[in-house]
Structure 1
Amino acid sequence: MPRRCPLVIGHRGAPGYRPEHSRSSYDLALAMGVDAVEPDIVVSKDGVLVVRHENEISGTTDVATRPEFADRHTTKSVDGVSLTGWFTEDFTWDELATLRCRERLPELRTVSASFDDRQPVLRLRDVLDLVRDASLEQGREIGVVLEIKHATYMEALGWDLAELIETELRDAGWADGRHPLVIEAFEATILDGLRERGIRGSYIYLIEASGKPYDLVARLGRGAPTYKREISPAGLDALVGRVDGISVDKRLILAPDRWGRTSGPAPLVSEARERGLRIFTWTVRPENAFLIGQFRGHGGKAAFGDYEGEWGVIRDAALDGVFVDHPDLGVAFFGS
């Protein structure tokens, strides 16, 4: 079966319909025909790679309701930001496995929230096995886009994150190119480490619309380059041969003006392509809350606006991949 371009990637599964990173979220995304799914990984106290968007888990699990874990409530600095809550690195995997997934945006996604507290937290291995089995059952190639979260922070806690990931991927049969694998991170240092270990896949550097990569902040302090500098012509030149591509906040593609009107696709797309770099974007969502001003409609934040108008600009950019929260809409639109 020929692969779509752009690849349609189920962002944390199908979180427009089910709590993110839950088993049903991934099952639904795979059933809706995505080309790949995207698990985010953090680390448990005993070194298990856990599928969560953040290591602070009060917003996506029922941990705050569990009296046996009340003493784990704490405040930490993660990538230079003070956060209060419960953190995966303070729990063993056996403890995390008792928690249940919850919708991160319950007021916006009420249907998804109706599935709260039903499904356990997953490990990376669970998702790798699930995708491999779905590929066999559906008779088509389905990939994994593995996002590594807070790499510098986790390594400061004593974990050799590259070693943990390499071991998991090799044990699961995902390290030698048999299955389509993309590895991405907001910190290029961890991508370097995995490439050096011979993990076969595409290496993609995630780019925020503002701010600085935390691995460079930790190393260089105030002198660290911004993400904006990383995607300047000189910055892109430096990425050639180091990574296979970039994955950027959709605002960097849409290039909205001060009134929220798009002027995209932005020159960044052609600049990356001229250097042989692949380019992805995140995250395309239909709700008004996530659309730029030009494409918002009536009905409040949860209502769908003119998402096809916004997505059309992204489709015209002829990107290599798009991350979607509603896989059925993404497959129908970008696969047409």
Structure 2
Amino acid sequence: MPRFPKAVMVLPVLALPGLLIGLANAGHADSFELGPRPAWLVSQMDDSPLKEKLAACLGQNVKRTSFSIGHRGAPLQFPEHTEESYRAAALMGAGILECDVTFTKDKELVCRHAQNDLHTTTNILATGLASQCTRGFSPAIGDTNASAECRTTDLTLSEFRTLDGKMDAANRRASTVDQYMDGTAGWRTDLYAGSGTLMTHAESIALFKSLGTKFTPELKSPVVEMPFNGFSQQDYAQKLIDEYKAAGIPPEDVFPQSFNLNDVLYWIENEPEFGKQAVYLDGRFSRDGFDPQNPDTLSPTMQELKAMGVNYLAPPLWVLLTNEDGRIAPSNYAKAARDAGLTLITWTLERSGPLDNGGGWFFQSVADLIDSDGKVFEVVDVLAREVGVTGLFSDWPATTSFYASCMGLD
């Protein structure tokens, strides 16, 4: 049976939301709580110099680091894009927090991963607002799964504010709304999902500023036809930036993201101080024939992206890795991006559940090498030292904060 290294200092598991708020405020003064997970992950590693290095750091002070990015906050245990989730991520030392941005019926910007995810990320189906959903709840019948679709554009901002966030999940074989809403994966938890406080984008800016973190908003692709009641894609992209300007946030603290290259190019042209840190989320992995070992087939090429003014590129982590003679190593995609002068960020750690079966989608390029949770820090180490990523999104930022602090990363 694995044993914790002798240097372990097991810190308290994050507790009640009220206590969490107080601790997070202390986090702004460089007081952080990691909980037991980093130490447990170290204990699962095979013996190696990396394990020895990390074990020696257990119990040492942790600093806030921009390498550690809170992906939707800390949704391994807290409802994503809620105040509680963001505070948890900041408490764990995340130096950058993410608000995925979409808009309501009255064109107000709010934090949601998708414009049409309210049925899985909030309690809307259990409220009177369910009647306003694009498609109401339909139970599973035979081979047909249960379904619903509730959009932020189905609601005004005032209506949106009445909802509670929950863990993002659905029971597709449900016959009732209660069953449908009760689908959280066993490796996540509903312990802190009693009342997730939803946030507008502007409120997230104020919160992140108070917590001492930087900002990485993602402009989500609308599911409604654009322009939406006169609100164009350009209006949408501009409004996101305008809310940072209104809050007096320095452009160098903001890393706006989009999978839509045109959004990134819009920021580069129209808001160059923000645009020079705009992050192109590279979704080209979904194209037929994509091969991270053959990046020359991509269009635009890495050099063309750089010539357009793109400085930050963010593919999923598997795109940056390959199995090289039985070791985790940088892919040719990673090398080509580095050679073109692009700064790499990647996503998402701690989102795959237990890693005893190859790690699933996020680890697919090195699945043959992923056989336990002890591989997490091996992956992080290759991404940081060999690929050279400057930031790593995680659903549980304690893991990335611990690694970055141990290795002296900014």
TM superposition score normalised by structure 1: 0.79
Verify the 8 A CA contact 1:256 1:262 in the aligned structure 2: yes
Partner of 1:264: 329
Partner of 1:22: 82
Counterpart of 2:341 in structure 1: which amino acid?
A: G
Verify the 8 A CA contact 1:209 1:227 in the aligned structure 2: no
The CA deviation string for residues 68-117 of structure 1, in whole angstroms up to 9 with x for no partner, is: 42242429xxxxxxx95101111101011011001115123443x22224
Distance in 2 between the 1:173 and 1:163 partners? 16
- Deviation of the 1:247 alpha carbon: 0.3
- Deviation of the 1:162 alpha carbon: 2.2
In the TM superposition, what are the counterparts of 1:45-60 in structure 2 within 5 Å? 45-56=105-116, 57-60=118-121
Counterpart pick for 1:307 among 366, 373, 376: 376
- Deviation of the 1:296 alpha carbon: 3.0
Distance in 1 between the 2:239 and 2:344 partners? 27
Counterpart of 1:54 in structure 2: which amino acid?
A: A
- Deviation of the 1:5 alpha carbon: 7.8
Distance in 2 between the 1:231 and 1:315 partners? 26
Partner of 1:278: 343
Distance in 2 between the 1:267 and 1:278 partners? 15
Identity %: 21
Q: Aligned-pair RMSD on alpha carbons?
A: 3.0
Partner of 2:392: 322
Verify the 8 A CA contact 1:12 1:21 in the aligned structure 2: yes
Matched, 1:169 2:244: yes
| Distance change (3 Å), C-alpha of 1:225 and 1:268 | closer
Partner of 2:203: 126
Counterpart pick for 1:200 among 268, 273, 292: 273
Partner of 2:130: 69
Distance in 1 between the 2:394 and 2:129 partners? 36
Verify the 8 A CA contact 2:347 2:392 in the aligned structure 1: yes
**Partner SS, residue 58 of structure 1:** helix
Partner of 1:220: none
**Partner SS, residue 35 of structure 1:** strand
- Deviation of the 1:325 alpha carbon: 1.1
Counterpart pick for 1:149 among 210, 213, 220: 220
- Deviation of the 1:234 alpha carbon: 5.8
| Distance change (3 Å), C-alpha of 1:47 and 1:333 | same
Counterpart pick for 1:37 among 75, 81, 97: 97
Distance in 2 between the 1:94 and 1:233 partners? 43
- Deviation of the 1:246 alpha carbon: 0.3
- Deviation of the 1:235 alpha carbon: 1.1
**Partner SS, residue 7 of structure 1:** strand
Counting matched residue pairs gives: 299
| Distance change (3 Å), C-alpha of 1:151 and 1:320 | farther
- Deviation of the 1:233 alpha carbon: 8.3
Distance in 2 between the 1:151 and 1:71 partners? 18
Verify the 8 A CA contact 2:383 2:389 in the aligned structure 1: yes
**Partner SS, residue 287 of structure 1:** coil
Could you tell me which runs of 5 or more consecutive residues in structure 2 were left unpaired when the two chains were aligned.
1-29, 31-62, 137-146, 170-183
Partner of 1:102: 166
**Partner SS, residue 264 of structure 1:** strand
Distance in 2 between the 1:180 and 1:43 partners? 23
* Greater shift in the superposed pair: 234-243 or 14-23: 234-243
| Distance change (3 Å), C-alpha of 1:110 and 1:8 | closer
Could you tell me which runs of 5 or more consecutive residues in structure 1 were left unpaired when the two chains were aligned.
76-82, 136-141, 213-223, 298-303
Partner of 2:256: 183
Counterpart of 2:404 in structure 1: which amino acid?
A: F
The CA deviation string for residues 142-186 of structure 1, in whole angstroms up to 9 with x for no partner, is: 210111110585634242212322332221223x53x61101110
Counterpart pick for 2:305 among 239, 243, 256: 239
| Distance change (3 Å), C-alpha of 1:28 and 1:4 | closer
**Partner SS, residue 59 of structure 1:** helix
Verify the 8 A CA contact 1:207 1:227 in the aligned structure 2: no
Counterpart pick for 1:12 among 41, 65, 72: 72
Counterpart of 1:39 in structure 2: which amino acid?
A: C
Verify the 8 A CA contact 2:165 2:195 in the aligned structure 1: yes
| Distance change (3 Å), C-alpha of 1:332 and 1:204 | same
Matched, 1:332 2:398: no
| Distance change (3 Å), C-alpha of 1:188 and 1:102 | same
Counterpart of 2:242 in structure 1: which amino acid?
A: T
Distance in 2 between the 1:31 and 1:8 partners? 12
Counterpart of 1:165 in structure 2: which amino acid?
A: L
**Partner SS, residue 255 of structure 1:** strand
Matched, 1:288 2:354: yes
Counterpart of 1:108 in structure 2: which amino acid?
A: G
